[in-house]
């Protein structure tokens, strides 16, 4: 089994972003501006939540994959590289989640 990372998926989104919209779903999403992929991300997130609540493991796996993909497309549309998000996650994990959330309330 090969290892496919979130960065690999982000690289794939980047590579397909400039393809013709009629041949690339990624390019088609991006051609609609940031609202189009954001709407799809929301839909997929709701579907993932429903699968989780229903205990549908296979459904959750598939919907989680959709969420990750659509999130990366939204990031691409917003000009935010995955590495920036990963750096923020790294910063946040340097302290407990409770302490991190408390620090955000004061800013």
pLDDT value at residue 96: 76
- Closest to 75 in 3D by CA, of 38, 25, 20: 38
CA count, 13 A, side-chain hemisphere, 19: 15
Domain ranges for the chain: 6-105
Q: What is the dihedral of CA 1, 82, 74, 26, to 10 degrees?
A: -50
pLDDT value at residue 34: 95
- What CATH class does 6-105 carry? mainly alpha
Provide block-wise average pLDDT over 10 residues at a time, the chain (107 residues): 90 97 97 96 98 98 98 98 96 80 69
pLDDT value at residue 107: 52
C-alpha angle 102-106-107 in degrees, rounded to nearest 5: 120
Distance between CA atoms of 59 and 2, rounded to whole angstroms?
A: 22
């Amino acid at each position: 089994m090969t290892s496919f990372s979130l960065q690999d998926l982000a690289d794939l989104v980047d590579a397909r972003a400039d393809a013709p919209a009629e041949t690339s779903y990624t390019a088609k999403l991006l051609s609609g501006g940031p609202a189009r992929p954001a709407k799809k991300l929301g839909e997929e997130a709701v579907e993932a939540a429903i699968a989780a609540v229903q205990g549908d493991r296979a459904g959750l796996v598939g919907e989680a994959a959709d969420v990750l993909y659509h999130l990366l497309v939204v990031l691409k549309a917003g000009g935010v590289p995955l590495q920036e998000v990963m750096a923020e996650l790294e910063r946040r994990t340097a302290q407990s989640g409770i302490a991190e959330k408390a620090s955000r309330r004061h800013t």
